[in-house]
């Protein structure tokens, strides 16, 4: 019960802080950067204080990353994996015609989204008028 209350407290606090900091992206990035550096500094010092040698650190870190599924996504990235599975080529390898085709597809999608937004606004207006 106490753990649930603590988790709920920090969850609510996080939502409030994120909401306020999102209006100040540079401050948000600075605070986040400091937090990340201090976190990893703490991990580093704990490893030093417990006399964990380099090889053991590498093994423990790799096992943790593999078990949690973070290893591949952290070092390769999901977008790169997906593009490889789909058979996409790197942007540098694509021909001009392919890039133009992709650009046209994106423009078509944007136009479609715009039409959907306009229809939704029209529907919203009709609903408001009926109230």
Can you tell me the distance from the alpha carbon of 25 to that of 18, in angstroms, rounded to the nearest whole number? 10
Question: How confident is the model over 101-121, as pLDDT tens digits?
Answer: 878 888 888 999 988 988 888
Q: Which residue has the tokens 């950067």?
A: 33
Tell me what pLDDT residue 79 has. Answer: 64
3-state percent helix, strand, coil for the chain, nearest multiple of 5? 85, 0, 15
Can you tell me the distance from the alpha carbon of 114 to that of 125, in angstroms, rounded to the nearest whole number? 17
Q: pTM for the complete prediction?
A: 0.49
Question: How confident is the model over 48-95, as pLDDT tens digits?
Answer: 888 888 888 889 888 888 888 777 666 666 665 666 666 666 555 556
Residue 128 to residues 60, 72, 74, 114, Cα–Cα distance (Å): 60, 50, 47, 21
Residues 6+ apart with CB under 8 A from 85: none
């Amino acid at each position: 019960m106490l753990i649930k209350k603590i988790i709920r407290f920090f969850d609510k606090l996080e939502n409030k802080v994120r909401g306020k900091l999102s209006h100040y992206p540079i401050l948000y990035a600075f605070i986040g950067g400091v937090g990340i550096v201090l976190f990893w500094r703490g991990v580093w010092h704990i490893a030093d204080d417990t006399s964990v040698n380099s090889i053991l650190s590498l093994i423990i870190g790799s096992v943790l990353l593999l078990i949690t599924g973070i290893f591949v996504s952290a070092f390769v990235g999901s977008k790169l994996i997906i593009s490889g599975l789909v058979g996409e080529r790197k942007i540098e390898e694509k021909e001009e015609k392919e890039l133009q085709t992709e650009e046209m597809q994106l423009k078509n999608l944007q136009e479609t989204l715009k039409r959907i937004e306009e229809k939704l606004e029209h529907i919203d207006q009709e609903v408001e008028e009926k109230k």
